[in-house]
Amino acid sequence: MRVRSRRLVAICCREAWPVPDNDDDARRNAHPDLAALAGGVAVITGGASGIGLALAERAIAGAMNPVLADIEAGAIAAAEAQLAGAASAAGVEVLGHRVDVSDEAAVFGLADAVGKRFPNKPVSMLCCNAGVGGGGAILRASDIDWDFVLGVNVKGVANCVRAFVPRMLEEGAPGAIVATSSQDGLCAAQGVYGVSKHACVALCEALYQELGGRLSVHVLCPNVVATNIVTSERNRPERFGGPRVTEAANPIAEGFKKYGMPPSRCADFVFGAIESGTFYVMAEAEDDPGHIYRQAETRMKGILEDGLPYRPGSPLIAKVYNMARARRSE
């Protein structure tokens, strides 16, 4: 059953995009030696905190020049100060740039700024990491809720790909593209957020097919991470209704910080995936091993055998929400 299904996918892909007759060649991801990326530029959206900042730290350790592209000016300044010592020791530069990734013109402006600051250095890494949570349930979300979440989590990735990848191809240097999705992008979706993360995975899969190994492509699908994504509504642009942070989000954010894996663990997974050529980067918390694999396996079982979208529960998510409920009852 699985073999026939995989073959069908390959046939469908051939009709949309010509690929080599050898299936192994069609599925081969470029995986540049990390040393080959040294000296280049690592463009990281959402780069001033969380996973993005951890990726910037790893980029500096790999002798790359990180660009901290973020919507929060204060966080950019703090991150630049935090990274200054390591960057100086590594002989690289850090560029901070405020950008709203849902704004196409702003992202292309970012690409121009990178070109001007680093005219003789290729973009070695493009990390489409900026993301937001929220959006709510499908039936309750408003039009601007949909626009905000999909604008950042999907169109934001597409904007970065369109602004940078043609330049990376023209430069002809080894390079890697990483987009941050979620474990929710691999399991039966829930809410507007889940829809956006499935779309992010699909975008990366399509890009992988189109590039045909000219650049490596990876989609990061982490479990719970200790970041500020739960309160990302604080950064809503005015055209999407303006900033908002609900009291209900604060206990959940506290749970993410307490039980989530450190962002540096995600960065380790990403750089390991680039080195090995792994497309799906399932970054799992140490105390919830195998959960993302179970999520993906259950989804495929539902599609191929049962015809139903099952979603197994997560002990780690349960801890977060149990803590939030306890906080609210205090």
pLDDT in tens, 123-153: 999 999 999 998 999 999 999 999 999 999 9
Q: At residue 89, what is the residue type?
A: A
Strands (E), 134-293: 176-180, 216-220, 280-281
Count of alpha carbons within 13 angstroms of residue 213, beta-carbon side: 9
Task: State the average pLDDT over residues 306-314.
Answer: 85
Does the residue 176 lie in any domain? yes
Helix, strand and coil in the chain, % to nearest 5: 55, 10, 35
pLDDT in tens, 202-218: 999 999 999 999 999 99
What is the percent of the chain where pLDDT is above 90? 71
Is it the case that residue 26 has pLDDT exceeding 60?
no
Cα dist. 140→40, 43, 298, 313 in Å? 45, 35, 27, 23
pLDDT in tens, 156-179: 999 999 999 999 999 999 999 999
Q: Which comes out higher in pLDDT, residue 7 or 276?
A: 276
What is residue 291's predicted lDDT score, i.e. its pLDDT?
86
What is residue 251's predicted lDDT score, i.e. its pLDDT?
82
pLDDT confidence tier of residue 13, bands split at 50, 70 and 90: very low
Across the chain, what does the average pLDDT equal?
89
Task: State the average pLDDT over residues 83-101.
Answer: 99
What is residue 124's predicted lDDT score, i.e. its pLDDT?
98
Listed ranges 14-18, 269-273, 301-305; the one with the highest mean pLDDT: 269-273
pLDDT in tens, 102-123: 999 999 999 999 999 999 999 9
Q: For the ranges 171-175, 272-276, 293-297, which has the lowest average pLDDT?
A: 293-297
pLDDT confidence tier of residue 21, bands split at 50, 70 and 90: very low
Q: Which comes out higher in pLDDT, residue 285 or 224?
A: 224
Contact 220, 283 (CB under 8 A): yes
pLDDT confidence tier of residue 315, bands split at 50, 70 and 90: confident
Does the residue 9 lie in any domain? no
What is residue 330's predicted lDDT score, i.e. its pLDDT?
66
The string of DSSP codes covering 272-329 is HHHHHT-SEE----TTSTTHHHHHHHHHHHIIIII-S------HHHHHHHHHHHHHHH
pLDDT in tens, 184-201: 999 988 899 999 999 999
Is it the case that residue 19 has pLDDT exceeding 70?
no
Does the residue 219 lie in any domain? yes
- The torsion region of residue 172 among left (phi > 0), alpha (psi -120 to 50) and beta comes to left
Active site residues: 193
Does the residue 5 lie in any domain? no
Note down the domain range covering 192: 17-329
Task: State the average pLDDT over residues 310-329.
Answer: 77
What is residue 7's predicted lDDT score, i.e. its pLDDT?
35
Burial of 315 (0-12, 13-18, 19+ CB in 10 A): exposed
SS3 199: helix
What is residue 312's predicted lDDT score, i.e. its pLDDT?
78
Q: For the ranges 2-11, 12-21, 131-140, 318-327, which has the lowest average pLDDT?
A: 2-11
Does the residue 197 lie in any domain? yes
CATH number of the domain within which 178 lies: 3.40.50.720
SS3 70: strand
pLDDT in tens, 57-85: 999 999 999 999 999 999 999 999 999 99
What is residue 257's predicted lDDT score, i.e. its pLDDT?
87
Does the residue 10 lie in any domain? no
Is it the case that residue 6 has pLDDT exceeding 50?
no
Does the residue 8 lie in any domain? no
What is residue 83's predicted lDDT score, i.e. its pLDDT?
99
Does the residue 3 lie in any domain? no
For the beta sheet containing 280-281, the strands, ordered from the edge strand earlier in sequence to the opposite edge, are 95-98, 65-70, 41-45, 123-128, 176-180, 216-220, 280-281
pLDDT confidence tier of residue 20, bands split at 50, 70 and 90: very low
End-to-end CA distance of the chain: 52
Is it the case that residue 324 has pLDDT exceeding 90?
no
Number of domain units in the chain: 1
Cα dist. 214→32, 62, 128, 175 in Å? 10, 21, 18, 8
Q: At residue 117, what is the residue type?
A: R
